Chains A and B, each alone.
Chain A
Amino acid sequence: MKVLHDVSIEMTEGETVILLGTNGNGKSTLIKTIMGIVPPNQGEIIFESEGVQINLVGKKPQEIVNMGITMVPEGRRLFPQLTVEENLYLGAFRREARQNLERNLSYCFEVFPRLGERRTQLAGSMSGGEQQMLALARAIMSSPKILLIDEPSVGLAPILVSQLMTSIKEMKENLNLTVLMTEQNFSQATKIADRGYIIVHGKIEFRGSNVELSGNELVKQYYLGT
């Protein structure tokens, strides 16, 4: 089965880009391919850091994380039997992140005070929304330059979705992140995105600014519903 077909996307430092498309169209696969979890059959993934271009294809996920690219996986994938704090420490596994551990930890507790209140609680015993915050915070603990976020608002109460989007925006600005995000909640996602792509059956069918996306027929058909 062909999941991605001749897909080209690019992100400039500091951008927030959304990846749209209904389910089963290859969005998560694209994120996993960037992270080295799924190897592509063809193509290149180029990461430019301090003027040096590196092809990520063939690199292991941990090597990619070490370069400063981190994902927040769909479905959170926390360590349920570990505490909130232990999950966060594990996010800071890479060397650069260890040096910034205390700073990042207090930053996470500042953005998500609930995690601070629950630092000794087991991750698996928290509600879905709290777990989503933890998954995001764990990614921040790795001191990323690029953050790939797969469906952050799934399972969150409406009030939390807008808070989460605001938090992502704040973190992006404060930490100078570049963000690629898949999200089904179109109106919330476009509040923080600079531009986006629509992916249909593994191909990029449209690319444009927020305004162009909002007026696009594919978006109306798939996202805004009837």
Chain B
Amino acid sequence: MENLISIFLNSVFVGNILLAYFLGMCSFIAVSKNIDTAMGLGFAVVFVLTITTPLNWMIYYFFLAPGALSWVGLPDLDLSFLKFIMFIAVIAAIVQAIEMVIDRFSAGLYSALGVFLPLISVNCAILGASLFMVEREYTFIESVVYGFGSGVGWMLAIVAMAALRIKLRYADIPKGLEDYGIAMIVTGLMAMAFMLFSGISF
């Protein structure tokens, strides 16, 4: 249990997938101009990450990992090189499926998340979390917690950024640094602040 809490807190704060590993920057810069949309995209990312990370865990350990196919009598087979293509296919399929399910059952949720879902299949954070999950050899439960934690961390970062950018509208920024340039510098400062969490031990 303690282990799970530490994975969760680590993925939200210290090892924040956006601020420490730079994943999901493209949509982070593009969508952080408004708090509401940032919130919507953040929720969509949490949702998709919590589903795809454990799903990819199952696919990896039941089909792709070295020796994983011993249950069909092929103990020497190592298909781990296929993980990139499998993961991205799973993510694209799941995003599409989630979109259809939400559309069918919850009109309110669909109007809130619908537009963001297609954006998500090419969000680096989603694929990145799956690849980190393999690299760090998490167990199934850990991968659920890690997926959820990364999503929450990403959402926290983008919502904070959107709030900062609204304040920045009234700031007098040098020409050329406006918009994208200042967004990067603010992100840098925010990443610095998040690094302070690494002093906390659980």
Are A and B subunits of one complex? no
A contact set with B: CB distance below 8 Å: none
